[in-house]
Amino acid sequence: MALTRAGVAFTEHPYLHDPGVASYGVEAAAALGLDPRQVLKTLLASVEASTGSGRRGRLVVGVVPVSGQLDLKALATAVGGKRATMADPAVAERITGYVVGGISPVGQRRALPTVVDESALGFDTVYVSGGRRGLDLGLAPGDLVRVTRATVDAIGRPA
């Protein structure tokens, strides 16, 4: 596991996943009895360059609390882009190697630019998907930022 190789302390938190649930992250928070503000979801977006280069968007990872939403404009700004759109779920799965609802910011097939919402730093421990539905990992937010080589910015907004 990527966290073990990086020497990061973490805890595993399995829970029974309901395939009919609409919000995987909210399900995890409820099943584990956690504050939804400290349970984070991992979302992929395509960010267009701020210059008129005509290039396709580059994929960027946004990590925000499950209690809110990803602010696409803020994410684009955080990485120096013009605008962002959510990545197609099939693309997200192919690029990360994880299934939607179980996409982890850690250990993806290809390292992508990552931005963690600044609210995560307000907790001693945050929880992210462990790479499959029904498993979250608890770790210090500073370790999450370090191991994903993320920047921290205000990219979340209330739901």
C-alpha 112/C-alpha 159 separation (Å) is 25
The tokens for 151 are: 């920047």
Output the pTM of the full model: 0.94
3-state secondary structure at position 23: coil
Question: Do 125 and 157 form a contact (C-beta atoms < 8 A)?
Answer: no
Mean pLDDT by 10 residues, the chain (159 residues): 91 94 93 97 93 73 97 97 95 95 94 97 98 96 97 95
- Judged on CB neighbours under 10 Å (0-12, 13-18, 19+), 127 is buried
> Token pair 């990485």 is at which residue?
79
User: Given this model, what pLDDT does residue 57 score?
Assistant: 85
Question: Do 32 and 127 form a contact (C-beta atoms < 8 A)?
Answer: yes
User: Given this model, what pLDDT does residue 146 score?
Assistant: 97
The domain limits of the chain are 9-158
Residue 105: closest CA among 67, 73, 59? 59
Could you say which DSSP state residue 87 is in?
A: P
User: Given this model, what pLDDT does residue 53 score?
Assistant: 53
Fold of 9-158: YbaK protein (3.90.960)
C-alpha 71/C-alpha 91 separation (Å) is 20
User: Given this model, what pLDDT does residue 22 score?
Assistant: 84
